[in-house]
Structure 1
């Protein structure tokens, strides 16, 4: 059962018909990254800064039309399952529900890291250098905010170290960009659009934060966690002297704990021996599986994720081989199977997984439309 010390009650809860303008105002006021959308104590979805970064919608838009579905944990799930869910979904928060699917509260990365630190579960002999993401994705401080937004969406990240002549000068987050974009209100649409264009054209240095809180490469993970919790940040650049060598986040620490505890991730891959011996292929497939498992687990709970490859034929030219990738995913809302064939097995796998992702999204849209009709009927 999830320890009560892990669960936090959000300072603000949105309702299905609340306006986005009011929600963003409360997010800023309460310094919340994610807001739950609730109806009759049931969780409908979440609204986060990361979601708002990827699409621009009117401040008059209702919560039910902006929110995204969320993976949840049951109050009676054990800590290992909770850690695995954070690792696979890369979520900032995971809602906790009871047996009636009623919303109880959040487990955040911060509360989980604090719990793991107190329980001595953070590997003491590991350093920031071993778990950081390197090289760091950066942006020049003179680049536009529009480019920073594009890079964040492209790389699925929420912060970017800003540099000048390769030296760290600041950091910009999804929150900084969204707050700048949605600061306009009470104006005519033409004025708002011009203001948006002005904001997106501004250089990063206009809204970036500085000085930057950093870690050094040899810093123990326990010290990194203490720093993240002390300054209430989700991640920070890692320095080797004056050189920016990477970025480390709370998620990287959770990955270290998952490895230490040897937690099982619901992925099973059957790969032909010839492909197994190809190190580049192995690295690419691990990246694709982790990325898409994360995306799907954000949509619904994944129980099983199986991948297999089959050689279909050999080309008479260049000894190329045609492969079929088969993907089977068992989720909380149903079972999905898809396959694709290509001369490049990685391409076949990517296409097959994207087919499943699209089918799951279609199913969730139908569920969402059904919920919306029910809500509108009740309010009519």
Structure 2
């Protein structure tokens, strides 16, 4: 309902290419399910486009694996005969992938994409260019996150922290991110920053391995960064370093700044207190 109402407003007229994720993880039809599940876990995703010889031939989701393989074996309802002696993880992607794929053009509007999401009752759509090549993917989250930026009376920067880590110092993390964002206020304009932190079981020297993903929506474009580190401090440091490199690269490329005038990487003295 929220997406449908948004589609009718000014936000719905924007081009979806401003919100897509371009660093898409792909899989081939012959790859095994075990590799798909490993990618799902490693990259914290639930869907992957299936590409063969540069062409989009299908899509596979975690839901497909659960319903078409695992539950099908239990109920005996799948379209082909499952070999009881064969591991479910050994089946190729092409056996359970979905096709045709629901897609949208990179020049489509947000409204057009939302209409398809509602019509097909899906959570994400593959984005293709004018040559029918894979250009990226856009999900409900990609469209919902920047919505807060549509409010005129909101105070920037907008910072949202999503994590189930116990004893996470959210106030300090908020301060660190605010300082990072304000460094680029004049260049990037009003900014919305979303960060997700997940704690893994692995530990080293008493610190858990932390996976961090962030999305930064600005008037200058969208920046996405993923990183890991031992402890919250290192994970946040690494993800902000990646973000800063992306920002500097884009600024240098589009404004042709000399190397000696590129912005220096941020000083992480500001986040020492996260240790």
1:148 aligns with 2:41: no
User: Normalised by the size of structure 2, how large is the TM-score?
Assistant: 0.55
The count of residues paired between Structure 1 and Structure 2 equals 184
Whether the 8 Å contact between 2:15 and 2:108 is mirrored in structure 1 is yes
Alignment of 1:67-216 (within 5 A): 111-118=1-8, 120=9, 123-179=11-67, 180-185=69-74, 195=84, 198-216=87-105
Determine the structure 1 residue equivalent to 2:142.
252
- C-alpha separation in 2, matches of 1:112 and 1:169: 31
**Residue in 1 aligned with 2:112?**
223
The gaps in structure 1 that reach 5 residues or longer are 1-110, 188-193, 279-285, 297-338, 356-380
CA displacement, residues 120-174 of structure 1 (integer Å, 9 cap, x when unaligned) = 2x61342121100112221111111111111112222111110101210000111
Equivalent of 1:265 in 156, 159, 163: 159
Distance 1:186 1:227 in 2: 31
Between the aligned partners of 1:152 and 1:163, the Cα distance in structure 2 is 16
Q: Distance in 2 between matches of 1:142 and 1:231?
A: 27
Contact 1:123 1:256 in 2 (8 A): no
- CA RMSD of superposed structures (Å): 4.0
| Structural mapping, 1:263-302, within 5 Å | 264-266=158-160, 268-270=174-176, 290-292=195-197
List per-residue Cα deviations over 1:44-85 (Å, max 9, x = no partner). xxxxxxxxxxxxxxxxxxxxxxxxxxxxxxxxxxxxxxxxxx
CA contact (8 A) 1:181 1:196 kept: no
CA offset at residue 186 of structure 1? 8.3
**How many Å apart are 1:213 and its aligned residue?**
0.8
TM-score by length of 1: 0.41
How far apart are the structure 1 equivalents of 2:7 and 2:133?
29
User: Are the equivalent residues in 2 in contact too, given 1:141–1:205 (CA < 8 A)?
Assistant: yes
Gaps (5+ residues) in structure 2?
77-82, 162-173, 185-191, 200-230, 240-267
Contact conserved, 2:13 with 2:111, CA < 8 A, in 1?
A: no
In 2, the alpha carbon distance for the partners of 1:274 and 1:130 equals 22
Structure 1 distance, partners of 2:94, 2:57, is 9
CA gap 1:170/1:341 in 2 versus in 1, 3 angstroms = closer
Cα separation, 2, equivalents of 1:256 and 1:272:
17
Q: Determine helix, strand or coil for the equivalent of 2:45.
A: coil
Aligned twin of 2:238: 346
Q: Secondary structure at the match of 1:290?
A: strand
